[in-house]
Amino acid sequence: MNRAFITSGKWLKGSIRLWLFDLGCASFLGVGLLGLFMALAMPFMLPDDAERKVDTLMLLMNMFVASTCVAIGWQMNRLAATEWAAIVPQYRQSVLLQALTLLITSLIIATIFLAVHNAFDKFDELLLTLLFGLGFLYFSLKNSSAFHLSFVLYISLPMLPYLAELLPATGSVLLLFTDLVLAALLWRKLSRFGWNSKARIVYLNGLEMGWFWLPSLKSSKLLNRFERYLHPANYFIGPMLTMMLLAMPLVTLFLALGAYLLDVQLPVLFLLIQFSSIACAMLHWSRIQRWRAVESLFVLPGFDGKQGMINAFMLAQYRLLAILTVSMMVTAALVSLLSPLMSLSVWLHIVLSNVIGCAAILGLGSMCRTSMQISATIFFVALQSGWVSSSLSTVQSGGDIWHWVAWDVPLLILAFFCLWYGKYRLWRGDLLSS
């Protein structure tokens, strides 16, 4: 790489447009920056339990680093899908240098965060996050379809403290050495990779499906009936919504059983709440990305004009909310059999928090008309995460959970008002005629 080109700073040109104005990349960076912002703001909001406070903040900081790695992976996939990238002078070099700068900056910020909170004992978690992030990037370069597994990287974050405890005394040195070796292999591969026809398929699928992947199952009469029950809310997202609704509780129970057998604490219900909210956001993400399909939905028989289609869509959203609520009620009840901390009040708070988050996101999503607007709903997911995390910390420290349940009631009313009002904003001003 030309040293004069690096020192000139020309490789920074267009970086803001490339990384912040691209909706896909901005979505991932937005999650990371949200984690950073919450890590900076939450010390003033969390209880005084220093150990639990650092654990919560470290989770947010790891989310910041992991989201940066996913955003870089998205840009590398986009670069591989761009046919003209090879003929534009120094375009590839500029993108690679920008990605490297972004990753190094995130690591520096995370290290400063550890120093400020005197939490260098959590350095292994940061190294594990980097290891998983670099591994994700490497496999994404080897196979473009591996980018669909980005959600695995996010799922692994709550498990990092328990993995770090399993490391030997020299774990930090081993992790640092492994990270450096993997970084060298990754840079070597990046300097040689070129155009990939499969990368464009991944890119287009990401725009429509929100970069979430689940294995497809053969259709059955039961699944078909289930999908008809959710029609037309699932018209844009397709069978993936059904797969998510089936997989989320099963994975939660599997993780809960594994944590029970290994005698470790995993916030499985916390993860289920987050993924339920994300599923609701993805329903509207796919609706917005496939805006041309609205007319195809409109001409289907069974709708009494545009308002009839809106009414049917909203009714299907209420059905989806009912399914998510029942799923959480049953899953939380089963998990309570393995956890002595799960009292009736905690179970009620978790169920209500799930309903609040899903109803609010479905309502806000109905009001959204652009990808940028639906991406902004991740801020509400983050607020919900802070709400649930703080309440569970109160339970673990022996506090009164009924205080949180009392606040759930007005929030629940507000969330249902948001969902009800979304009916009057859905497809408002579109070209569809009444």
- Asked if pLDDT for residue 32 goes beyond 60, the answer is yes
- Least confident interval from 6-20, 200-214, 355-369: 200-214
Q: What is the pLDDT of residue 42?
A: 64
Identify the residue whose tokens are 């992976």.
73
How far apart CA 378 and CA 375 sit, in angstroms, is 6
What per-residue confidence (pLDDT) applies to 51? 58
Higher pLDDT, 327 or 432: 327
State the average pLDDT over residues 151-169.
Answer: 78
- The CA angle 69-70-74, to the nearest 5 degrees, is 120
Q: Give buried/exposed letters for 260-269 (b at 16+ CB in 10 A, else e).
A: beeeeebbbb
- pLDDT at res. 411: 93
Whether residue 433 is predicted with pLDDT greater than 50 in this model: the reply is: no
What pLDDT was estimated at residue 212? 47
Residue at token pair 């300097």 = 191
- For the cut 70, the answer to whether the pLDDT of residue 293 exceeds it is yes
Which pLDDT band holds residue 48 (cuts at 50, 70, 90)? low
pLDDT tens digit sequence for 106-131: 999 999 988 888 888 888 888 999 99
Arithmetic mean of pLDDT, 1-5: 60
Q: What is residue 336's predicted lDDT score, i.e. its pLDDT?
A: 87
pLDDT at 270 over 70: yes
Span 368-375, average pLDDT:
76
Percent of the chain with pLDDT over 90: 17
Q: Which among 346, 343, 325, 341 has a CA at the least distance from the CA of 403? A: 346
pLDDT at residue 148 in the model? 65
What is the residue type of 353? Answer: S
pLDDT at 215 over 50: no
Altogether, the residues listed in the chain come to a count of 434
